[in-house]
């Protein structure tokens, strides 16, 4: 069974630009979560989608958005990039039973550098 796939692996963007990151979950997983990882703040939760609906959202500005498609693939978008958005963005997928997620499986991440 294929794992969680994130594309692209690396991105370099300029301040003020926008970026879209993609995540394909494990087959059969309907929950997709996104995390931002930085040396200073550690792993921070961005949002979680289940069946195309955002179920939960972390404490990030509105420049960070996401969506989920009917095939459970998810994208996250960051608009008006700032230097502080440079980070490793991790996507995780989970199998859900009774509305509750089981363990999360993570992708390799997308390394975003804003210059």
Site for another protein in 10-69 (CB under 8 A): 31, 33, 35, 42-43, 45, 48, 50, 55-56, 58
Size of the site for another protein (CB under 8 A): 28
Least CB distance to another protein at residue 115 (A)? 19
Least CB distance to another protein at residue 72 (A)? 14
11-38: burial string, b at 16+ Cβ within 10 Å, e else: bebeeeeebebebbbbeebbbbbbbbee
Cα(25)–Cα(67) distance, integer angstroms: 13
Phi then psi dihedrals of residue 18, to 5 deg: -120, 160
Among 21, 23, 107, 112, contact with another protein (rule: CB under 8 A): 107
Report which secondary-structure segment, H or E, holds 12: strand 10-13
Contacting residues toward another protein, per CB under 8 A: 4, 6, 31, 33, 35, 42-43, 45, 48, 50, 55-56, 58, 88, 90, 92, 94, 100-109, 111
């Amino acid at each position: 069974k294929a794992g969680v796939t994130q594309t692209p692996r690396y991105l370099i963007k300029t301040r003020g630009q926008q970026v879209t990151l993609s995540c394909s979950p494990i087959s059969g997983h309907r929950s997709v979560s996104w995390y931002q990882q930085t040396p200073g703040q550690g792993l921070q939760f961005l949002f979680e989608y289940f069946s195309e609906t955002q179920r939960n959202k972390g404490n990030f500005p509105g420049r960070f958005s996401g969506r989920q498609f009917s095939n459970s693939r998810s994208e996250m978008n960051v608009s008006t990039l700032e230097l502080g958005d440079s980070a490793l963005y991790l996507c995780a997928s989970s199998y859900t039973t009774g509305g509750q997620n089981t363990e999360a499986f993570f992708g390799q991440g997308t390394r975003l550098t804003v210059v």
